[in-house]
Amino acid sequence: MEEKSGSLIEWLVPLGFIVCAGWVTWHLPAFTLDWNPPTDQSQFDKLSALFKRNDVSPNMGGLFGGFADIFDWLALIGIPALMILGVMTVRRAAMEFESWKPLDRVAVFIGRVTMMLIVLLCCVMLYEVFMRYVLSAATLWANELSLWLAGFIFLCAGLYAMQQRSHIRIFLLYDVCPRWLQHVFDTISTLLIVTFAFFLVYGGYGEAFDKFYRWETFGTAFDPPIPATIKPMVLLVVSLVAIQAIINLISDWNKVPETHSAADDIDEHELEMLRRQVANDNKKD
């Protein structure tokens, strides 16, 4: 079983992934205009004007005569490259669930990305507090960016929680049942998750695609594309959660039955550190 190595690459790769994904997300209209431009001229002009307004590198010029420039393409290539590198280099921490199949590594890497997003969210909030209350120069973008990051954190954390089996479960009836009946319960719960994901995607795909294709923005001074990105992200993550639930069912099928108690919530690693601290304090006394 792999343990957390603590190497710097385990944090630099998720950070690089966030940078590439953030760049591509901010410049996605360029790829839409290049690959599948709107047939309606007014919609094309609107999307083009929106991209030109938000383009971080406006003087670069698009490759192949399009809108996406070299930085956009490099960031797009960097997303799968860093995803593969991250999945290969991620290590299981001591307190994490002992399941380490290839698809589990994907969820754990997304968990690492989520952790880095939390750090970035805190930095944005601290920056806004400093600018607002120390320099009396509040920003126009910090609040919306915080909401945007928090949305991605909330969604990605759900996938990580499913892989770690850390979602809310009630074991009162489950623990007293024979193993074959536990399998029935596990199968039913997985089917419910998959059914929910299917109908959510089936019912929400049209609206999500429309918001994404029109690149609907938040309508504020900063005007981030929160509706255009969060709506499709909900469908994507819920689908991944359903797939992870199936993986969990298969992985845990032959697992030895467990008996759950309140002691399960105690972190043995932290408990051992507390014992050592108490022992050191007693020696000093």
| Per-residue pLDDT, 1 | 42
Mean of pLDDT values over 239-246: 94
Q: Is the pLDDT confidence value at 265 over 70?
A: no
Torsion of CA 184, 186, 188, 192, to 10 degrees: 180
Q: Is the torsion defined by CA of 79, 84, 87, 89 positive or negative?
A: negative
Q: Is the pLDDT confidence value at 278 over 60?
A: yes
* Backbone phi, psi, residue 174, to 5°: -60, -45
Residue 163, Cβ neighbours under 10 Å: how many?
A: 28
* Backbone phi, psi, residue 255, to 5°: -70, 145
Residue 143, Cβ neighbours under 10 Å: how many?
A: 16
Residue 210, Cβ neighbours under 10 Å: how many?
A: 12
Q: Which of 233, 237, 242 is nearest to 211 (CA)?
A: 233
Q: Is the pLDDT confidence value at 284 over 70?
A: no
| Per-residue pLDDT, 6 | 59
Cα–Cα dist 238/230, whole Å: 12
What's the burial of 278, exposed, middle or buried (CB within 10 Å: 0-12/13-18/19+)?
Answer: exposed
Residue type, 32: T
| Per-residue pLDDT, 91 | 84
| Per-residue pLDDT, 2 | 46
Cα–Cα dist 188/117, whole Å: 34
Instruction: Tell me which H or E stretch contains 131.
Output: helix 102-133
pTM for this model (two decimals): 0.83
| Per-residue pLDDT, 263 | 57
CB 143 within 8 A of CB 128: yes
Residue type, 242: A
Listed in sequence order, the residues at least 6 apart from 146 whose beta carbon sits closer than 8 Å to its beta carbon are 121, 124, 125, 128
* Backbone phi, psi, residue 60, to 5°: -75, -40
- Segment of 38-47, 61-70, 84-93, 152-161 carrying the highest mean pLDDT: 152-161
Q: 72's torsion region: left (phi>0), alpha (psi -120 to 50) or beta?
A: alpha
* HSE (side-chain half, CA atoms, 13 Å) at 171: 12
Angle 160-252-267 (CA atoms, 0-180°, nearest 5)?
55
Q: How confident is the model at residue 285 (pLDDT cuts 50, 70, 90)?
A: low
Q: Is the pLDDT confidence value at 145 over 70?
A: yes
Torsion of CA 240, 242, 243, 245, to 10 degrees: 120
Domain-wise residue ranges, the chain: 1-95
pLDDT-wise least confident of 99-108, 127-136, 247-256, 271-280: 271-280
Q: How confident is the model at residue 167 (pLDDT cuts 50, 70, 90)?
A: confident
CA-to-CA dists, residue 224 to 59, 105, 112, 148, 151, angstroms: 22, 31, 24, 8, 13
